Amino acid sequence: MSFSPPGNAVVEKLDPLRIPRHVAVIMDGNGRWARRRLLNRVRGHEAGAETVRHIVRASREVGIGYLTLYAFSTENWQRPTAEVSALMALLERFLKGEEAQLMENNIRLRAVGQIHRLPAGVQSVLERVTAATGANDGMNLILALSYGGRDELVAMAKNLAREAVAGRIAPEAIDADAVAAHLGTAGIPDPDLLIRTSGEMRISNFLLWQIAYAEIFFTDTLWPDFSREEFLSILGAYQRRERRFGRV
Ligand code: IPE
Ligand code: IPE
Ligand code: MG
């Protein structure tokens, strides 16, 4: 399989049988992108939303089953109110603007994180678009919103403890499958590939349990500059890695 963006040479040959089932992305660097241009950070987030559109499309085209995008962390609430409000407004606009595209491309939208903390307007459009796209089966687009891996693990522990106290599960019966089934990502396969842009080499509280055996790629590219070509080249590099899962 090869992909040639209009007017360009073939950028990467991918093995259609080894496309990662689930790709997770820490979309970082919007603020720095804006600062370098002497723009407000919010302009960086707007440019980043454009990148989201390209990467969603590319993912759908190559046959990725699940694309999870880290859009807002539990820690991001501590940013200045003006930036948080601008991000929430942008998110609402993005969801409203993308609904038709998601339907047209048979993409199902899902969300993980503390959805109840999001502004009412965002919650209502999220509800509408997740319901409208609920039967789409071309690709799952999962937005991590007010998401934190530790928060998700704490909630899982509370729920399992409640079920144990209520006598619905024996403590001895709690295994890795039971844990996974009590996370926000229940039913979603673990990421095969994790990408972080902007040169930071950290996880920042993303999918702590789920990335146990993900292949990790860091790139210095700032999210608004992250292109379809670079994405495809990371998919190619992923295919050249040998995944061993602890075996020989
Ligand atoms: C990522 O870009 C977007 C969010 C975290 C919402 P940043 O806003 O973190 O950009 P930098 O890291 O400051 O450049
Ligand atoms: C991680 O980026 C969160 C998202 C991309 C939504 P941050 O910019 O918030 O992470 P740190 O602060 O660099 O760790
Ligand atoms: Mg950042």
pLDDT tier at 130 (50, 70, 90 boundaries)?
Answer: very high
The per-residue pLDDT for range 26-57, each reduced to its tens digit, is: 999 999 999 999 999 999 999 999 999 999 99
Q: How confident is the model at residue 230 (pLDDT cuts 50, 70, 90)?
A: very high
Determine the distance separating the centroid of ligand 1 and the alpha carbon of 99, expressed in angstroms. 24
CB 32 less than 6 A from any atom of ligand 1: yes
> Quick check: is 8 catalytic?
no
**In ligand 2, which atom is closest to the CA atom of 26?**
5
145 CA distance to ligand 3 centroid (A)? Answer: 15
> What CA–CA distance (Å, rounded) separates 145 from 167?
33
Q: Which residues contact 100 (CB under 8 A, 6 or more apart)?
A: none
Task: State how far the Cα of 89 lies from the Cα of 134, in Å rounded to an integer.
Answer: 23
Is the pLDDT at 67 greater than 70, yes or no?
A: yes
pLDDT at 239 (0 to 100): 97
Q: 40, 76, 136, 159: which one is catalytic?
A: 76
For the chain, give the longest Cα–Cα distance. 63
Q: What are the sequence ranges of the domains in the chain?
A: 19-236
The pLDDT of 60-87, averaged and rounded, is 98
pTM for this entry: 0.96
The predicted pLDDT at position 3 comes to 54
Q: What does the block give as tokens for 77? A: 């609430």
| 73 φ/ψ angles, rounded to the nearest 5 degrees | -95, 165
Cβ(92)–Cβ(120) under 8 Å?
no
SS3 state at 59: helix
Say if residue 11's pLDDT is above 70.
no
**pLDDT bucket at 7, cuts 50 / 70 / 90:** very low
pLDDT confidence bin for 12, thresholds 50/70/90: confident
Backbone angles phi, psi at 110, to 5 degrees: -135, 165
Which letter, b or e, does each residue of 225-235 get, where b requires 16 or more Cβ atoms within 10 Å of its Cβ? bbebebbbbbb
Mean pLDDT of 210-219: 98
Nearest CA to ligand 2 atom 8: 28
CA distance 111 to 142: 5
Q: Is the CB of 20 under 6 A from ligand 1?
A: no
28 catalytic per annotation: yes
Dist. CA 6–CA 11, nearest whole Å: 11
Average pLDDT over residues 67-89: 98
CA of 72 to the centre of ligand 1 (A): 9
- Report whether 86 contacts 44 (CB < 8 A): no
234 neighbors 194 (Cβ within 8 angstroms)? no
Rounded to whole angstroms, the Cα distance separating 217 from 24 reads 10
**Do residues 144 and 112 lie in contact, with contact meaning Cβ atoms separated by under 8 Å?**
yes
Q: Please state the rounded mean pLDDT for residues 90-109.
A: 98
Average pLDDT score over the chain: 96
CATH 3.40.1180.10 fits 19-236, yes or no: yes
The residues, any chain, with a CB within 8 Å of residue 153's CB and separated by 6 or more, are 183, 208, 209
